[in-house]
């Protein structure tokens, strides 16, 4: 086990021996504050003007959710006196730090009873220091430290804190193997040593690991959450306090997580666990729309930022070297963020960016006309696009492209720098981004390869590809029969025109024609044109 850089117990002993009472108090409180901060970095440690006071706390720990816990310093050799002191404390569930030095074989039964009666946690510098020392080597130690700081109950003055941490670590290991006995033992320890809120939260996370390891819910040896999904509070807790780079662990946790869950967490970034969770579940995370933006604050060259996940304005965002991309489960949510009127790529630029084998349809702008090129008449490669464009007097550029991906088709609209999924597809976010970004932006070969590697996932789970969309529950947005892009063109009907040419002006589709198109869609599936 790695030894902490600071020996807090030694600092406190030296401070207590300072001949100056004022200096001694200041040094003791400084050392204790440092240890509390090391115990739980998520807590704000506020020192009061009191020291070893009967009723007033020496410190108040405060967390982002506005929960608080009072911390009382005590220097009392006799356990009976310390137990009596605890009975005088009026603060709810206090944390009492015992700085006294007593023989290890001292009977602490009366102190244990007092802690249980008043829902207090009694600990000392050495016990907390050993717990802090576990953090570099134990992925659950940070979680345990936070849980004890917020809601520890009972006596933790010798080896109890480390023994509790070992029990929790063993329980998570057991849950990952759906092993009943050790998981049950961990649940018992959690229930006995933590307050109700902290115990419930940690047990729920343990259940998530159990279920993610194909353990049956009815066999989980603890209070069961029957909702079927990890709630946001438990997920937030896990992302903030778990310290694991194990991809399998995050995959087990994240199979039921949705894109919307990630954006509603309110987690401070950067957070490495958010990226770990996303990367481990790219094969199940779905998205409907994305919008690409240039990043004017980007750093070029060797200092360029690597690809990473972030959250901007409550949108999950892929941050690149010179761009960022907002993703969403809903087109309506992302629509206010887009900027219409973006420059469209020229034919040559589009040919350079596109993979001909992935193109289903390409829409060219030629003056006042739109030319729609379909792949059913042959591959949409550079020669064909150049030929079609050459048959027109002027060609402004490419406005849209419909692209195939492993999990569905994507409509890329260059006028808005957006990508949207086609109706009825269970499109993965990774495929949406991989289809959109390289078309909207001109990327260097290294950047394209880095993007593909970053978004790569290991296969597609059956529940992603096989589950059909429930048409009975679709919103009006999901049932669109017209173009899936953000800015829809009015498509003329009833005119005798070149099959590859449609003008901007003309009659719009009637409701009867739209309903007929939907009926054909349901009976025949999506057409290629």
Q: What average pLDDT does this structure show over 236-260?
A: 87
Residue 299 has what pLDDT? 47
Q: What is the band of 501 on the pLDDT scale with cuts at 50, 70, 90?
A: very low
pLDDT of residue 487 exceeding 70, the answer is no
Helix (H), strand (E) at residue 329: none
Q: What is the band of 475 on the pLDDT scale with cuts at 50, 70, 90?
A: very low
Alpha helices (runs of H) in 89-159, residue ranges in sequence order: 109-117, 125-133, 141-151
The dihedral region occupied by 266, where left means phi > 0, alpha psi between -120 and 50, and beta the remainder, is left
Q: CA 435, CA 260: separation in Å to the nearest integer?
A: 21
CATH class of 8-158: alpha beta
Asked if 161 contacts 128 with a C-beta cutoff of 8 angstroms, the reply is yes
Mean pLDDT of the chain: 84
Q: What is the band of 256 on the pLDDT scale with cuts at 50, 70, 90?
A: confident
Q: What average pLDDT does this structure show over 320-346?
A: 92
Residue 381 CA neighbour count, 13 Å, CB half: 4
pLDDT of residue 382 exceeding 90, the answer is no
**Tokens 């890329």 belong to residue:** 412
Residue 244 has what pLDDT? 84
Q: What is the largest distance, in Å, between two alpha-carbon atoms of the chain?
A: 102
**Which has more pLDDT, 299 or 375?**
375
Asked if 227 contacts 122 with a C-beta cutoff of 8 angstroms, the reply is no
Residue 529 has what pLDDT? 41
Residue 423 has what pLDDT? 74
Which structure tokens are listed for 135? 């953090």
**Percent above pLDDT 70 for the chain:** 83
pLDDT digits (tens, 9 = 90+) for 347-374: 999 999 999 999 999 999 887 788 899 8
Residue 296 has what pLDDT? 61
Q: Where are the domains of the chain?
A: 8-158, 175-281, 335-524
Residue 3 has what pLDDT? 57
Q: CA 282, CA 500: separation in Å to the nearest integer?
A: 37
pLDDT of residue 49 exceeding 60, the answer is yes
pLDDT digits (tens, 9 = 90+) for 429-462: 999 999 999 999 999 999 999 999 999 997 544 4
Phi, psi torsion values for 506, nearest 5 degrees: 145, 180
DSSP string for 363-380 = EEEETTEEEEEEGGGS--
Residue 459 has what pLDDT? 56
Residue 366 has what pLDDT? 80
Asked if 296 contacts 268 with a C-beta cutoff of 8 angstroms, the reply is no
pLDDT of residue 473 exceeding 50, the answer is no
Q: What average pLDDT does this structure show over 291-311?
A: 71
Which structure tokens are listed for 315? 């949108």
DSSP state, residue 509: P
Q: What is the band of 491 on the pLDDT scale with cuts at 50, 70, 90?
A: very low
The dihedral region occupied by 344, where left means phi > 0, alpha psi between -120 and 50, and beta the remainder, is beta
Distances (CA, A) of 405 to 283, 320, 411, 421, 422: 13, 21, 11, 10, 11
Q: What average pLDDT does this structure show over 421-427?
A: 85
């Amino acid at each position: 086990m790695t030894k902490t850089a600071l020996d807090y117990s030694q600092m406190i002993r030296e401070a207590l021996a300072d001949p100056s009472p004022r200096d001694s108090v200041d040094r003791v409180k400084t050392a204790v504050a440092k240890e509390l901060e090391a115990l739980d970095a998520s807590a704000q440690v506020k020192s009061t003007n009191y020291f070893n006071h009967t009723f007033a706390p020496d410190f108040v720990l405060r967390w982002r959710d506005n929960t608080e816990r009072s911390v009382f310093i005590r220097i009392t050799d006799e356990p009976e006196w310390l137990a009596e002191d605890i009975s005088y404390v009026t603060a709810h569930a206090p944390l009492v730090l015992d700085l006294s030095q007593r023989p290890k074989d001292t009977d602490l039964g009366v102190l244990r009873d007092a802690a249980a009666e008043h829902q207090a946690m009694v600990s000392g510098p050495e016990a907390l220091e050993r717990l802090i020392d576990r953090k570099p080597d134990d992925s659950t130690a940070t979680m345990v430290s936070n849980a004890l700081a917020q809601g520890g109950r009972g006596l933790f003055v010798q080896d109890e804190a480390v023994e509790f941490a070992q029990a929790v670590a063993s329980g998570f290991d057991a849950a990952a193997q759906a092993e009943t006995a050790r998981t049950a033992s961990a649940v018992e320890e959690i229930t006995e040593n933590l307050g109700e809120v902290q115990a419930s939260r940690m047990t729920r996370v343990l259940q998530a690991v159990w279920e993610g390891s194909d353990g049956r819910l009815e066999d989980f040896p603890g209070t069961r959450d029957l909702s079927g999904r990890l709630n946001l509070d438990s997920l937030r807790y896990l992302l903030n306090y778990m310290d694991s780079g194990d991809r399998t662990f995050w995959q087990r946790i994240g199979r039921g997580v949705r894109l919307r869950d990630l954006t509603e967490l309110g987690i401070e970034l950067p957070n490495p666990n958010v990226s770990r969770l996303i990367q481990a579940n790219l094969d199940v995370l779905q998205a409907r729309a994305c919008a690409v933006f240039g990043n004017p604050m980007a750093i070029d060259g060797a200092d360029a930022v690597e690809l990473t996940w972030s959250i901007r304005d409550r949108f999950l965002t892929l941050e690149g070297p010179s761009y960022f991309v907002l993703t969403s489960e809903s087109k309506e949510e992302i629509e206010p963020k887009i900027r219409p009127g973006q420059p469209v790529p020229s034919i040559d630029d589009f040919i350079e960016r596109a993979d001909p084998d992935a193109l289903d349809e390409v829409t060219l702008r030629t003056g006042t006309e739109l030319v729609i090129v379909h792949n059913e008449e042959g591959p949409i490669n550079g020669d064909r696009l150049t030929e079609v464009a050459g048959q027109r007097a002027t060609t402004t550029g490419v406005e849209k492209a419909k692209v195939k991906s492993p999990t569905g088709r994507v409509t890329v609209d260059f006028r808005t720098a957006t990508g949207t999924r086609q109706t009825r597809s269970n499109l993965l976010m990774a495929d949406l981004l991989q289809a959109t970004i390289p078309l909207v932006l001109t990327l260097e070969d290294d950047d394209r390869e880095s993007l593909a590697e970053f978004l790569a996932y290991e296969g597609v789970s059956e529940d992603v590809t096989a589950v059909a969309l429930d048409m009975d529950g679709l919103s009006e947005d999901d049932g669109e029969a017209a173009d899936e892009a953000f800015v829809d063109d009015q498509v003329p009907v009833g005119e005798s025109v070149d099959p590859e040419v449609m003008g901007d002006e003309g009659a719009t589709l009637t409701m009867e024609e739209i309903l007929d198109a939907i009926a054909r869609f349901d009976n025949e599936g999506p057409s290629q044109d």
